């Protein structure tokens, strides 16, 4: 039997634009589910799975994993998520037009009668991204992966280098080194318009959030633009 309605939000933005931070606010305050392909990839690497061994080098270099691999991962994971939750945030997927087409097909074949898909584009100049990523720290516990920023007072840990949530040490991501940052930005801009055009042509709502401001302002703007009470 098909379920009623599903709400899917795609956070589309360059690395460091705050997809993960905004997703976690929605999880904590709106009880939505976050599905981050980056977190899932890092979990595979930590658990030294076969897949993890194959993608370790690619992730460190800031390149994208192949569409076929990532689509397979997403198909499997989304199926699981849909069993217990109808409101899902996609953080880091799709990243190419091929992935956008695949998402559209996955949702068409899902267990819901209606799927409301909203694309939220996070807008920020590249120069701010470079500054942000060089100050970003994440929790070293792969189950937690909370994100902190040493450049934003509202996102600093309470105790230096310690995660507020689980007390694990904070670390810098290897792909937050400058060469990898520049590569990741280049790749993002290469695909951004194709993805937006694809969803626009399919008639999905696309909203833009300016994100070089405090996270609470961004969150309020997000709620208003998507009519979430
Ligand atoms: P993120 O945490 O979203 O910045 O992702 C970290 C890395 O995981 C990326 O630089 C890619 O190597 C890989 N990755 C995550 N999501 C995708 C995706 N949708 N397509 C291809 N590679 C991805």
Provide DSSP, 150-168.
TT-GGGS-SSTTB-TTT-P
Q: Averaged over 187-202, what is the pLDDT? A: 97
Q: What is the mean pLDDT of the chain?
A: 91
Write out pLDDT tens, residues 46-96. 899 999 999 999 998 889 999 999 999 999 888 887 776 778 999 999 999
- What ranges make up the beta strands (E) of the chain? 3-12, 33-36, 87-91, 112-123, 136-139, 147-149, 170-171, 205-210
What pLDDT is recorded for position 67?
A: 97
Contacts of 43 (CB under 8 A, 6+ apart): 52, 142
What six digits make up the tokens of 184?
A: 């990741």
Q: At residue 24, does pLDDT exceed 80?
A: yes
Give 221's pLDDT tier (boundaries 50, 70, 90).
very high
Determine the length of the chain.
Answer: 229
Give 2's pLDDT tier (boundaries 50, 70, 90).
low
At residue 103, the 3 state secondary structure works out as: helix
Give 190's pLDDT tier (boundaries 50, 70, 90).
very high
From residue 71, how far is each of 25, 47, 151, 159 by CA, in Å? Answer: 26, 20, 34, 38
User: Is 37 touching ligand 1 by the criterion CB < 6 Å?
Assistant: yes
What's the gap in Å between 199 CA and the centre of ligand 1? Answer: 20
From residue 130, how far is each of 8, 92, 179, 218 by CA, in Å? Answer: 29, 18, 10, 19
At residue 143, the 3 state secondary structure works out as: coil
Q: Averaged over 93-103, what is the pLDDT? A: 97
Between 152 and 75, whose confidence is greater? 75
Q: At residue 181, does pLDDT exceed 60?
A: yes
CA–CA gap between residue 177 and residue 128 (Å, rounded)? 15
What pLDDT is recorded for position 3?
A: 58
- What domains does the chain contain, in order, with CATH numbers? 6-219 (3.40.50.300)
User: Is 42 touching ligand 1 by the criterion CB < 6 Å?
Assistant: no
User: Is 184 touching ligand 1 by the criterion CB < 6 Å?
Assistant: yes
pTM equals: 0.88
Residue 41: closest CA among 133, 137, 145, 184: 145
Contact 163, 41 (CB under 8 A): no
User: Is 92 touching ligand 1 by the criterion CB < 6 Å?
Assistant: yes
Q: At residue 121, does pLDDT exceed 70?
A: yes
Q: Go through 80-112 and write b for each residue having 16 or more CB atoms within 10 A of its CB, e for each that does not.
A: ebbeeebbbbbbbbbbbbbbbbbbbebbeebeb
- Count other Cβ atoms within 10 Å, centred on residue 37: 19
CA–CA gap between residue 223 and residue 74 (Å, rounded)? 26
CA–CA gap between residue 163 and residue 6 (Å, rounded)? 33
- Which residues participate in the annotated binding site for ATP? 16-21, 136, 147-148, 213
User: Is 13 touching ligand 1 by the criterion CB < 6 Å?
Assistant: no
What's the gap in Å between 65 CA and the centre of ligand 1? Answer: 7
What's the gap in Å between 213 CA and the centre of ligand 1? Answer: 24
């Amino acid at each position: 039997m098909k379920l009623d309605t599903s709400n899917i939000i795609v956070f589309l933005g360059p690395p460091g634009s705050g997809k993960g931070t905004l997703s976690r606010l929605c999880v904590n305050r709106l009880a939505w589910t976050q599905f981050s392909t980056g977190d899932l990839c890092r979990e595979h690497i930590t658990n030294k799975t076969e897949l993890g061994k194959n993608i370790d080098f690619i992730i460190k270099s800031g390149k994208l994993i192949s569409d076929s691999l990532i689509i397979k991962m997403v198909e499997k994971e989304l199926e699981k998520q849909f069993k217990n939750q109808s409101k899902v945030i996609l953080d880091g997927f799709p990243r190419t037009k091929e992935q956008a087409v695949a998402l559209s097909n996955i949702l068409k074949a899902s267990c819901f009668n209606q799927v409301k898909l909203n694309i939220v584009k996070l807008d920020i100049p590249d120069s701010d991204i470079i500054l942000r990523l060089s100050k970003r720290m994440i929790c070293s516990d792969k189950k937690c992966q909370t994100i902190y920023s040493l450049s934003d007072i509202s996102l600093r840990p309470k105790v230096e280098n310690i995660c507020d949530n689980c007390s694990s040490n904070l670390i810098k991501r290897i792909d937050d080194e400058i060469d990898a940052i520049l590569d990741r930005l280049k790749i993002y801009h290469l695909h951004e318009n194709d993805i937006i055009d694809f969803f626009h042509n399919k008639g999905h709502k696309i909203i833009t959030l300016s994100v070089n401001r405090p996270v609470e302002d961004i969150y309020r703007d997000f709620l208003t633009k998507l009519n979430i009470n």
